[in-house]
Amino acid sequence: MSNILIIKHGSLGDIAQACGAIQDISEHHKDDQIHLLTTKPYYELFKKNPHISNVILDKRLSKLNLFYLYSLMRSIKKHNFSKVYDLQNSSRTSFYKRILFPNASKDIWSSTDTTLPQGKTKKDFDKDSVLERFDYQLKNSNIETKHTTSPDFSWSSSDISQIKINYELEKFIILFPFCSPHLTSKKWPYYNDLIDIINEKFKHQLKIVVAPGPDEIDQASQINALCILDNGKALDISQLSALIKDSSFVVANDTGPAHMTAHLGSKGVSLFGAHTTAYKVSIERENFKAIQVSDLSKLSAEKVFERLSNSIS
């Protein structure tokens, strides 16, 4: 039995996308121990993943912090990993490779760089969709990819029955109107208009809720929807996953919860402006689609409601 390392730091959407690749790696190495290196926000979450034996925390401190870097590299080296699958493919993980396996080929260190198609630069390769890139990387590491392009994030859910009782949730729609402060181009401005239309057309038969992150609770008061919290705190990822799974429909900006919805198999739509394409981020699934426009400020609430109504009815 060998030790196998997978590296996946985040963000939340990336975590949901990578779970199919993680499953394929695990099934390929069914007689080995699968370890995963990740960051603090996803450390406890990945402990629930049935395809992972052990989770290693990377605090991602500065690379100039030599004491931390030495400690982390020592922690990794003690496992004597026979193979590493770098699913983060960042400059940081390339730096780790130069320390741990400086001359390794794809037989030891599988990454975008080591499996790059001949004649193609990483910049060109990164124009392909996320899941296509994972699929190519693993296939060129001799792994059969049954799940990579169809991730299943359902393992992440926890029991939220008490939360649903507290808020009297039966049939409900979730809105994710938030985005990172530095990514305001992803933010659709007409959620309250959409809420008015939903309430009018469905005669308040569906509750409309928001589930803000820790830094979004104050913003939630600006949305005319029921704010779902757990004892005054934001839901954790597993609770949020369960809430999404039990919903009737999700409307979201291009953020982590949108990617969670897509890979939980739940119904919903994500709203895309010019910042990227739904194809590139691999978000469209059987039940989850995208509306792509050049300018989100010109996407009407009526247009979004039409998509929602057709899916629910």
For 180-223, write each residue's pLDDT tens digit.
877 778 999 999 999 999 999 998 899 999 999 999 999 999 99
- Residue 173: the pLDDT is 98
Q: And the tokens for 264?
A: 């939980």
Domain end, chosen from 152, 174, 192, is at: 152
Distance of alpha carbon 265 from alpha carbon 263, whole angstroms: 5
Match 């629930």 to its residue by tokens: 48
Find the CATH number of the domain harbouring 239.
Answer: 3.40.50.2000
Residue ending a domain, among 125, 152, 179, is 152
Considering its fold, how many domains does the chain have in total? 2
Longest pairwise C-alpha distance within the chain: 64
Q: How many residues does the chain have?
A: 313
**191 in the same domain as 140:** no
Helix intervals (H) in 1-50: 12-28, 40-46
- What stretches in the chain show pLDDT beneath 70? 313
Of the three residues 152, 183, 206, the one that is the final residue of a domain is 152
pLDDT at 313: 67
Pair 116, 59 in one domain:
yes
Tell me the residue range of the domain where 67 lies: 3-152
Query: What are the residue ranges of helices labelled H in 37-128?
Result: 40-46, 66-77, 91-100, 122-125
Taking each helix axis from N to C end, the angle separating 130-139 and 12-28, rounded to the nearest 10 degrees, works out to: 20
CB environment 130-147: b (16+ within 10 A), e (fewer): bbebbbbbbeebebebeb
